[in-house]
Chain A
Amino acid sequence: MDFLTAAAYIVMAVLVVANVLIVRRMKITVRDEDDE
């Protein structure tokens, strides 16, 4: 397998890990319908 083909699998794995790190740093709020 050449590098660019293998890179697809590597990039997918890196994206998933990066997403975890991004979300863990985010401040997330969820409001209710009654919050005004």
Chain B
Amino acid sequence: MATILENWPILAVLVAYLLGCLAIGRYFEKRAARGAADFYVAKRQIPGWVVSLAFFSTFASTNTYIGQAGQAFAAGLSWAWVGVFWTIFCMVSWLLLGPRLRNQTAGLRSLTIPDYFDFRYQSPLSKATRLLAAATVVFATIWYMAGIAKGCAHLLESVLGVPYGWGAMILLAFTCIYTVQGGMYSVLWTDAIQGVMMFVVAIVMAAIPFVYVGGPTELMARISNVTHVTAAGVPMGNGLVTFASLVSFTYILGIGLSVGMKQIAEPRCLVRFYSVDNAKGMRFAMIWTPIFLGISLICVMGLGALVHAMATEQEAAYLISNTDEVIGFMLAKFDNAAVSAICITGLFAAGMSSLASVMLIVGTSIVGDMWNVWKPMPADKIVTRTRLAIVGYCGLVYLVTIFPPAGIVELTSFSGAVFAAGFFPAVFGGLYLRWGTGHGAFWSMLIGMAATIIWRFGIRFNVAGLQDVHEIIPAFCLSLIAYLVISRMTSSYRPTEAHLDKIFGTSG
């Protein structure tokens, strides 16, 4: 309690922010209850600037602002190359997938990514593909949500002294309440506010090392030749400012691809396109989303390397093995209550924005794509049951957060590779290739997921020289080849030309 009272500015900003989120959920409660089209995709009537900020805040999470920013402490400024790949995939997502997915899903009356596979391909395997996609979402998301809840709970514990279990409960409960109340409406509008906060916090955080040491010249002089050592005990020297000196470019490429490709494959990002209201909004979002993300990544991706200028040798020796604590260390060392309040709330917002998005995706997958396919239900029951499914799933996530299995961070990053290898060929082929078939989609999904698992657990760490080759690279290639070859081999299962004309007629 004493720690909480000592940090009243942080607490005040945090409480105001949480109450704001609840007010948004309450405001949209009735509108979201009108039906699945409202609750699932906000009736496709959300302004482009809101969707743009929501996409940015959903993709970037506490993992970006704490994990990736801290990773640069060990990897040096070369880690910024990860941000280059993420920016490229943000552009690819909006340029190649955004408008087409928005138009095709409107024409097909699709409300989720799994049901898009079903309606688009119309083959004997469409239902199986839909169920497989939904089951993957439900299984893979739990690790992701628990990872974020764990990170935010630790943050609350270290800054405010809130016990870990209570911190996790506060985070999950508040996020669950406004998600359940307002569905996609409240998720998108709170995401937009959280996006603004995250953009500001990225700039504020990047300024801290410069202000602390007295300017860019002094900062660069300090990190250009440090006496700090690597995790292996080797002096870093000029490694922080030398390309791929502390970490291989293959490793940078693997993280850049596996995380960046979430933007072109994960339902929580793709479903954003469904809600854009018109062409003007789409154009705005296509221009501004890479700007929001690119500037934020310029600020945070190399931040850990700059923190070396603020650390003594003893502090650096500890942080090099605990890079997740680098940002917390930076804020503590800077010791400014107002800056800490802004940054902590922004980091909390980063976690909540991603959590709310995936909560909704899980609820729609369980009810819309599994339960309703297995046993069709009256339309007026869908929203209520989706709300209940979200609450139940949050309870499960809470248990996993309280008793986290070993390697939860690895599981979280691994789930991104599963989505990218499993979903992208089916989405991209569905949008661009008239000859793509449901068989191609189903088998590419299965082969991509299997290859991800086999490479990760059977090959990568058992064969010399392959440790830095991330599973996303072979799995993605195999999945794409499978989609192309199997679609060609099963051309007799193509949907009718009338159906394809309806899909492709006015898309793009």
Contact = CB atoms under 8 A, between A and B. Distances in A.
Contact of B106 (A9, A20, A35): A35
Contacts of A32: 44, 106
A15 B298 CA distance: 12
B87 interface: yes
B279 A28 contact: yes
A17 to B, nearest CB: 9
A5 B290 contact: no
Interface in B226-245: 241-244
A5 B80 contact: yes
B506 interface: yes
B494 interface: no
Contact of B107 (A19, A23, A35): A35
Contacts of A15: 84, 87-88, 91, 290, 294
Interface string A5-27: 10011011101100110111010
A28 B95 contact: no
A5 to B, nearest CB: 5
Interface in B203-236: 220, 224
Interface stretch (B280-288, B453-461, B468-476): B280-288
Nearest to A33: B106
Contacts of B220: 1
A13 B102 CA distance: 28
Interface in B290-339: 290-291, 294-295, 297-298, 302
A24 to B, nearest CB: 8
Task: Identify whether the interface residues of B are mostly helix, strand, loop, or mixed.
Answer: helix
Specify which of A8, A9, A35 lies most central, judged by the most chain B CB atoms within 10 Å of its CB.
Answer: A8
Given A5-B241, A12-B80, A33-B107, A23 B287 contact: yes
A16 B107 contact: no
A1 B279 CA distance: 42
Contact of A30 (B87, B91, B102, B291): B102
Interface in B410-443: none
B482 interface: no
Interface residues of A, number: 26
A26 B76 CA distance: 38
Contacts of B496: none
A5 B103 contact: no
B243 A5 contact: yes
A36 B505 CA distance: 9
Contact of A29 (B107, B242, B279): B279
B294 A13 contact: yes
Contacts of A1: 77, 220, 224, 241
A1 B103 CA distance: 45
Contacts of B278: 30
B99 interface: yes
Contact of B290 (A3, A8, A19): A19
B102 A5 contact: no
Given A15-B91, A26-B286, 7 more contacts: A5-B77, A15-B87, A19-B287, A20-B291, A29-B99, A29-B506, A33-B106
Interface of B: 44, 76-78, 80-81, 83-84, 87-88, 91, 95, 99, 102-103, 106-107, 109, 220, 224, 241-244, 276-279, 281-283, 286-287, 290-291, 294-295, 297-298, 302, 502, 506-508
13 contacts: A2-B242, A5-B76, A8-B78, A16-B291, A24-B287, A30-B99, A30-B103, A30-B281, A31-B103, A33-B106, A35-B106, A35-B506, A36-B107
